[in-house]
Structure formats: C-alpha cells, structure tokens
Chain A
Amino acid sequence: MLKDITLGQYFPGNTVVHRLDPRTKILLVLVYIIALFQAKSFVSYGILLVFLLVSVRLSKVGAKALLRGMKPVVVILIFTGILNLFYGTTGRELFHWGILTITTGGVKTAFFMIVRILMLISGTFLLTYTTSPILLTDGLENLLSPLKKVKVPVHELAMMMSIALRFIPTLIEETDKIMSAQKARGADFDSGNLLDKAKALVPLLVPLFVSAFRRADELATAMECRCYHGGEGRTRLRQLAYAGIDWAALAIGGAVLVAVCVLAYGFGW
C-alpha cells in the first residue's frame, strides 16, 4: 500500500535533457524562474512557454506525468486565482457586488498568476524528473562550493541530502513490515476516532525510530570504515564536466532571460 507512493520522481532516460550536466540544469531552472518573475506581458510569457515546451518535448517526459505533479497545488492555484481576481483595481470594471469588484486588470493579474505558478512548477519538476537525486546533489554541491570560503558546510549538506533521499524507499519498506507485524498482533490502524488512530501509531513509530537510528549508526560506521572524513580532498567517481551542449543550453537560457528583461524594462511589456 505504501509502496504505491512515488517519492523518487526521477524518470530514467537518455535524452538531451537527461544528459545535460546537472549544474547546467540547475542554473537553467534558476534563470527560468528569474525570467518568469520579470515577465509582465503575453509576449514574455510566450517566450518562456516556448522555452518550457521545447525542453519538455526534448526530455520525452510525458505531459501526463507533468500534469500529475500539479494535483497537490490545484487548491493553491484556485485560491490564488480568486484572490487576485478581486484585488485588481486597474482597468475597466466588469462586475460589482457590495465590496466585491472585478476589473479587467484583476482578471489579467489572476490569469498571469496562475500561468506563472503552473510554469514554475512544470519547470522545476522537469529538473527532478530528468536528473537523478545523486547527480542533483552533486551539482548543487559543486555550484555552492564557493560558499565553503565563508565556512558554509556545503559538502556535509549535500551528503545529508543524498543520504536522506537514499533512505526514503528503505524506510517505506520498513514501515510496511512493521505495520504488518503489528497487525498480526491485532493492532488496528484504521478504525476508531482521531485519538485512537494517533495512539495506534505508537507501535509503528517507536520501532521505526529505533531502526532509523540503528541504520544511521550502522551507516556511520560503514562510512568511517571506508575512511570517510568529510569533503576535503575527496575525489569523485563521476566528474562533472561541461560539454558543448551545456554551453549551448546556457547560452539559450541567458538569451531568454535577457530578452524577457529587455521587454520588461526597455519596453514596459
């Protein structure tokens, strides 16, 4: 039952988007987000939408998979949309009832707001759909490495992130096992009121915590046995290297950002 939850969102593939250096992809997503917040008009949104759609197309991630990721944010989308609809004060008045007023400006803001959130989520999902968690943390660590100069423990943070991601499926499996074992002793996780249900979780959570600590301990020992001592002087199995395609992708990303900024600040679009 718990196995059906897909937490690792990575879809393995061998497309151009999959092969891009993770740092390139992280930077592109960053550029894309900045550009998205500068966009004010249909033209700039159009440019960004083309950029997004081409990337999605190249990655061969189905539209279905992308849309499935939108499910949890539907409520937020509706809420933002409605709120923006009534807050606009510019433009022609379309509707008036008591204190509620809808103007053309409000409709436009609401529409752009929803489109912006949708595009924001699709863009970031595309990153996690096409980049394995290990590569993602590698890329992040590499990009953030300048922060080491000001004593930010970048390597440790990246390692923590990889370990956390690595153990999600393990813990899910463990939860399943413990649940079955307690059910075999007559534990009931489904019936009763909220308090009963919370109490019923104790036989599940205590062993789960104990085993998580035990696993952490074992992992620490195993890492020390292999002489792990932090990031200093550590070499990698997979060296990250920018290829021609990365420079090309970054150039396109940069061009998109410049275009959107010029449109926004030069022409007021």
Chain B
Amino acid sequence: MEPILETRGLCCVYSQGTPFQHTALDHVDFQAYPGEYVGIIGHTGSGKSTLIQHLNGLLKPTDGQVLLHGKDIWESKASVRQAKFHVGLVFQYPEYQLFEETVYQDIAFGPKNMKLSTDEIDRRVRQAAGFVGLREDQLQKSPFELSGGQKRRVAIAGVIAMEPEVLILDEPTAGLDPAARDAILANIRDYQQSNNATIILVSHSMEEVARSVDRIVVVNDAVIPFSGTPREVFSHSDELRKMGLGIPQVTQVFQRLREMGMPIEDDCVYTMEDAVKALLELRKGGRA
C-alpha cells in the first residue's frame, strides 16, 4: 500500500551556522498509511514536535522531502497551503488558541480559510462539533465561558472541521481528568472510522498509546530507532527505558512475573485485555 504521508531523508537543523546550531531531525524516514492509527512516542526534546510540524508544512525541511500522496508538499506555494488542509495538526494545549466570539465561529475558522461555501461550512461545523460531543446550544456560547475540557474539544473540532485526511494530535489529553481523556480518545477514534482518516497521536503516556494505536514510531535523539506494532516496540523494553520512556505499567508487572518464574506464555502483555487473558490462562494452568 502507498503511504498517504511520508518523509524521505528529512533533516532539520535549527540556527544553522551559529554557535547554537542544533540538529532536531537527522535523515528521518517516516510513513503513515491511509486509515492507520500511528502513535509517536519520544521524550521531551527528542524531535517529535519538530517532526509533526514538518508533516503539515509549518516548518520547511533543511534537507529531504515531505510527500503527501507521493507529491512533495513544498512544490509550490499553493501546495504548502493545501498540505495544511489535508494534514490537520492539533497542538498541545490547543484551547489557548481560541479567539472568536462564539464556539461556532471558532470551529468555522479553518473551513472559512479553505474558502468553502456557507452551507458546507455549516455542515462541517455541526459535524465536527458532533464528533467531539459538543451540544447544539454550546455552539452559540463564547469559548471563554466553557470549562477547560470543553475548550479542548472546541479546539480539536476546529481542526476536524477542515476534514483532514491525516489528523495529528500532540498530547491531546495532557492535563485532563480520566473521564475527559477517555472521551477525547473515543472522539478521535470515531473520526478515524467515519472518515477513514489517518491519525497520528503524539503522547507521553505509554498506556494511552498502547491502547489506541496500530503502530508505534519511537523518536529519540533526532532519529527513529525503531517502529512497529505495540507488541514489537514494547519488547524493546530495555532500550526504551534507556531513552527515558519506559513501557506500560501492566507490561512491567507481567515481565516481573515472568522473571519470577510464572508460566506466562505471552512475552509482551500491554493492554488490560491481554492481562486478563494471561491471568485466566495462568489460573487454568495452575488448576490442571
């Protein structure tokens, strides 16, 4: 399958030619496929934020290419602008970017910049609001009257309303309570399924990534040391720990149990469902 979004030999050097020169990305090859749910993990300063800002053309590569549907997004001025509409990017703490008088107008900001018709904008705003669970009567409120969690939903809806084929979210659940966190993750899942969109989720929380994504990409020190399914990635637990990332707690517990000599077949348990299965098998085995 052709990747929908791809980087080839992407390099990014900040403050080139000064004493502050710093390589944030070093020949990075990254692929995202249509309909895929990708998780990007990496510690602070690993280059993951720089990477996602290249994916929608906010930053210009020092070297290398960013390809959307196989075409370089930096081909022309128009193509860079189009890339922003095809690849939606939700920044960390996006609620601080709200500015309009009403929630409706704020969500409509992106579609308006796309120069869509009023009817189409209206449809998209209502649909996006629906995805993130905003009620009809909240659309006419000022975004500044809402609670933190609701503001976050409005900001995410503002990007979803552009109906991007690829939706990138940088720590969308940071600072939210567990209920709001689960709700937002479910909203993102809904959007992915109904639009067959590609989702790229940047997160620090291993549990969150383990539960949601199909494939994990690890970013460390300006390169991608490895990527793969959560099972593959979490089996590199020592390397992950060295990068300061660690693995989900449940995986740690089961690794210790195996080390203690428990007969657990699954060598990488990373979700609660797997854990329950493994424990049930263990009990069965014990009885027999």
28 contacts between A and B (CB under 8 A): A177-B91, A178-B96, A180-B91, A181-B91, A181-B94, A182-B97, A183-B84, A184-B84, A184-B88, A184-B89, A184-B91, A184-B159, A185-B84, A185-B109, A185-B110, A185-B159, A185-B162, A186-B84, A186-B85, A186-B114, A186-B162, A187-B113, A188-B113, A206-B99, A207-B96, A207-B99, A210-B99, A211-B96
Q: Using a CB–CB distance below 8 Å, which chain B residues touch chain A?
A: 53, 56, 58, 81, 84-85, 88-91, 94, 96-99, 109-110, 113-114, 144, 158-159, 162
The answer to whether residues A180 and B159 also contact, given A188-B113, A207-B96, A207-B98 and a CB cut-off of 8 A, is no
Interface residues in A73-100 by Cβ distance below 8 A to B read: none
CB atoms of B109 and A203 under 8 A apart: yes
Find chain B residues with CB under 8 A from A185 CB.
84, 109-110, 113, 158-159, 162
CB-CB contacts of A192-221 with B at 8 A, as 1s and 0s? 000000000011001100110000000000
Q: Which of B53, B94, B110, B144 contacts A186 (CB 8 A)?
A: B110
What DSSP secondary structure best describes chain A's contact surface? helix
Inter-chain contact A202/B56, CB cutoff 8 Å: no
Q: How far is the CA of A210 from the CA of B145 in the complex (A)?
A: 13
B233 to chain A, nearest CB (A): 28
Nearest CB in chain B: distance from A201 CB, A: 10
Interface size on A, residues (CB 8 A): 17
Q: How does the 8 Å CB contact mask read for A157-194 relative to B, with 1 for contact and 0 for none? A: 00000000000000000000110111111111000000
7 further A-B contacts with Cβ under 8 Å, apart from A181-B97, A184-B84, A185-B84, are A178-B96, A182-B109, A184-B89, A186-B110, A186-B162, A188-B81, A210-B96
A196 CB → nearest B CB, Å: 12
**Beta-carbon contact of B113 and A184 below 8 Å:** no
Give Cα A241–Cα B56 distance, bound, in whole angstroms. 55
Question: What's the nearest-Cβ distance from chain A to residue B97, in Å?
Answer: 4
Bound form: Cα–Cα A202–B84 in Å: 20
Closest to B82 in A: A186
Q: A202 to B89, alpha carbons, bound, how many Å?
A: 20
Docked complex Cα distance between A121 and B97 (Å): 40
